């Protein structure tokens, strides 16, 4: 682990056009539920392309306490094997660090018939209930109680049922992950209507099928699962490892970093199909991107224009990209209207961007951003965003401030970088590789080793 505390900052000297080539890492939001799903498997499972992140280290700690041996190496290979099926409790000190720890609930209940998992609690990006997870598990036959901040779930054996996972703000991503995992070992057939269709869930479903699960409808909003008696990796899979898909949010971050600095950057290791909504909004903003197999090349645009977009469940624009686009809109010509239907309260980055000279007004669950018009950084320093000390409040809000710092005149110090450490694999190094001037006060690059 890099051992950083919340008080440390990235110091960014803005105004450099990024240039070069950079590769994206494996997807955090696929790696986490897939690692949690390893609780379902008999024998060893090997994963490849696991990103080097604090969230991965946190989940590793959760799984180790649940009797799973986890061994990782620097190249993103992680071997997981349950060596003790007795523990069933995921405690609050770990779960509160990362909501995705809640993804152990479905696998634990299905495989060990009993699970005690802390409720994840509050979150800075808005209200994040888990009612859909719990209602679905109850429909699968689990007895669920809430006791002293913990979900206590019990089921001699789950049984298939018809579930609907669509909440008031669309389907739940981790809810779908929890119920999909639970259904794989349930008796009979489960139909999950209103399932989330995010590529990370498609990856989870393919992984479960590779272990012997019987899931149909993958990638659609209706998943059909026929329960099986046990899941295990065959010899081939145990040896080769299941490869995690590339991180589409990291890809979007790097593409927007290139665009916000007027740079020319090739982002490699991407799946363009996963980035459809990002592609559309960048096009509307006038950002020139050439999309090729596994690669996107940004560069050559004459200006970034204002745009209108709303964050929606997949295949809509990911809410995790919304703060990054707000940063881009700050330097665009004209006005942008950016909404967030998934997390309507996710605007904590706005006040910090305003401290850098951005002109942003809240309008319900949206913001109106009047850009400086200096997307290519051709404007005089007076017209640009101004470097300032700012503090990130969550993962993507902090990334948005880093992007703004890259475009700003002068020096920006971004506090709260422990948030970045949770979800970006060496972002500072990757930006510096493209010519950015990003200094990490600790001298340690962001990202942590998956502890074994």
Taking contact as CB under 6 A, which single stretch among the options 128-136, 271-279, 413-421, 438-446 is the one that binds ligand UD1? Answer: 128-136
Secondary structure E strands in 244-332? 264-268, 289-292, 295-298, 308-311
DSSP 118-162: E-----TTS----HHHHHHHHHTT-EEEEETTEEEEE-SS-B--E
How crowded is the C-beta side of 192, counted as CA atoms within 13 Å? 38
Q: Map residues 85-124 to x or -, x wherever contact with ligand UD1 holds by CB under 6 A.
A: --------------xx------------------------
Q: Say if CB 70 and CB 62 are below 8 A apart.
A: no
Least separation in angstroms between residue 270's CB and ligand UD1 is 18
Q: Is 424 in the site for ligand UD1 (CB under 6 A)?
A: no
Q: Say if CB 242 and CB 71 are below 8 A apart.
A: no
Task: Compare residues 8 and 203 and give the one whose CB is closer to ligand UD1.
Answer: 203
Q: Map residues 340-369 to x or -, x wherever contact with ligand UD1 holds by CB under 6 A.
A: --xx--------------------------
How crowded is the C-beta side of 63, counted as CA atoms within 13 Å? 32
Q: Dihedrals φ, ψ of 129, to 5°?
A: -75, 170
Question: Is residue 318 classed as helix, strand or coil in its secondary structure?
Answer: coil
Its sign, for the CA torsion 179, 181, 183, 187, is negative
Q: Dihedrals φ, ψ of 102, to 5°?
A: -65, -15
Closest CA relative to residue 39, chosen from 63, 58, 59, 61: 63
Secondary structure E strands in 196-263? 214-216, 222-226, 231-232, 242-243
Query: One of 38, 46, 103, 123 is an active-site residue; which one?
Result: 123
Least separation in angstroms between residue 128's CB and ligand UD1 is 5
Secondary structure E strands in 366-410? 366-370, 389-391
Among 7, 75, 121, 127, binds ligand UD1 (CB under 6 A): 127
Least separation in angstroms between residue 114's CB and ligand UD1 is 21
Least separation in angstroms between residue 198's CB and ligand UD1 is 7
Question: Is residue 35 classed as helix, strand or coil in its secondary structure?
Answer: helix
Least separation in angstroms between residue 381's CB and ligand UD1 is 35
Task: Compare residues 120 and 299 and give the one whose CB is closer to ligand UD1.
Answer: 120
Task: Compare residues 173 and 303 and give the one whose CB is closer to ligand UD1.
Answer: 173
Task: Compare residues 167 and 217 and give the one whose CB is closer to ligand UD1.
Answer: 167
Q: Is 276 in the site for ligand UD1 (CB under 6 A)?
A: no
Task: Compare residues 249 and 408 and give the one whose CB is closer to ligand UD1.
Answer: 249
Q: Is 129 in the site for ligand UD1 (CB under 6 A)?
A: yes
Residue 227 and residue 159: Cα distance in Å, rounded? 8
Residues 161-200 within binding reach of ligand UD1 (CB under 6 A): 167-170, 172-175, 200
Q: Map residues 287-326 to x or -, x wherever contact with ligand UD1 holds by CB under 6 A.
A: -------------------------------xxx------
Taking contact as CB under 6 A, which single stretch among the options 74-82, 129-137, 289-297, 384-392 is the one that binds ligand UD1? Answer: 129-137
Q: Map residues 23-42 to x or -, x wherever contact with ligand UD1 holds by CB under 6 A.
A: ------x--x----------
Least separation in angstroms between residue 224's CB and ligand UD1 is 21
Least separation in angstroms between residue 144's CB and ligand UD1 is 13
Least separation in angstroms between residue 175's CB and ligand UD1 is 5
| Cis peptide upstream of residue 315 (ω within 30 degrees of 0) | yes
Task: Compare residues 252 and 331 and give the one whose CB is closer to ligand UD1.
Answer: 252
Q: Dihedrals φ, ψ of 69, to 5°?
A: -85, 125
Q: Say if CB 183 and CB 140 are below 8 A apart.
A: yes
Residue 323 and residue 338: Cα distance in Å, rounded? 9
Task: Compare residues 81 and 250 and give the one whose CB is closer to ligand UD1.
Answer: 250
Whether 123 is a known active-site residue: answer: yes
Q: Is 420 in the site for ligand UD1 (CB under 6 A)?
A: no
Residue 348 and residue 5: Cα distance in Å, rounded? 21
Residue 40 and residue 188: Cα distance in Å, rounded? 17
Binding site for ligand UD1 (CB under 6 A): 29, 32, 99-100, 127-133, 167-170, 172-175, 200, 318-320, 342-343
The set of catalytic residues is 123
């Amino acid at each position: 682990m890099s051992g950083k505390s919340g008080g440390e900052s990235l110091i960014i000297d803005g105004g450099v056009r990024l240039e070069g080539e950079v590769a994206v890492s494996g997807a955090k939001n696929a790696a986490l539920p897939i690692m949690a799903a390893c609780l379902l498997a008999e024998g060893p499972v090997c994963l490849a392309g696991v990103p080097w992140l604090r969230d991965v280290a946190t989940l590793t700690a959760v799984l180790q306490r649940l009797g799973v041996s986890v061994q990782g190496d620097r190249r993103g290979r992680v071997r997981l094997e349950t060596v003790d099926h007795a523990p069933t409790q995921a405690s609050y000190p770990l779960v509160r660090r990362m909501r995705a720890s809640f993804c152990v609930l479905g696998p634990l209940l299905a495989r060990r018939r009993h699970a005690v998992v802390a409720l994840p609690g509050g979150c800075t990006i808005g209200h994040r209930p888990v009612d859909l997870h719990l209602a679905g598990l109850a429909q699968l036959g689990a007895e669920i109680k809430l006791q002293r901040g913990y979900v206590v779930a019990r089921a001699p054996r789950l049984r298939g049922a018809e579930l609907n996972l669509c909440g008031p703000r669309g389907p739940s991503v981790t809810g779908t992950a929890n119920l999909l995992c639970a259904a794989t070992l349930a008796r009979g057939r489960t139909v999950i209507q209103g399932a989330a269709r995010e590529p990370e869930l498609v990856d989870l479903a393919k992984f479960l099928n590779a272990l012997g699960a019987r899931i149909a409808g993958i990638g659609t909003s209706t998943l059909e699962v026929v329960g099986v008696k046990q899941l295990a990796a065959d010899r081939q899979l145990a040896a080769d490892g299941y490869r995690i898909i590339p991180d589409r949010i990291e890809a979007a971050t790097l593409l927007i970093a290139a665009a916000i600095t007027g740079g020319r950057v090739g982002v490699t290791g991407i799946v363009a199909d996963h980035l459809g909504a990002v592609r559309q909004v960048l096009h509307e903003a006038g950002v020139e991107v050439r999309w090729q197999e596994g690669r996107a090349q940004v560069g050559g645009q004459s200006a970034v224009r204002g745009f209108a977009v709303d964050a929606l469940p997949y295949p809509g624009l990911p809410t995790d990209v919304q703060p990054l686009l707000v940063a881009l809109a700050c330097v665009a010509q004209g006005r942008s209207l950016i909404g967030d239907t998934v997390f309507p309260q996710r605007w904590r980055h706005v006040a910090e961007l305003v401290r850098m000279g951005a002109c942003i007004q809240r309008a319900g669950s949206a913001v109106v951003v009047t850009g400086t018009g200096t997307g290519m950084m051709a404007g005089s320093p007076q017209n640009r965003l101004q470097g300032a000390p700012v503090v990130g409040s969550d993962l993507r809000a902090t990334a948005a401030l880093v992007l703004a710092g890259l475009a700003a005149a002068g020096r920006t110090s971004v506090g709260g970088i422990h948030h970045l450490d949770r979800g970006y694999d060496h972002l500072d190094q990757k930006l510096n590789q493209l010519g950015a001037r990003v200094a990490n006060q600790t001298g340690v690059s962001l990202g942590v080793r998956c502890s074994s």
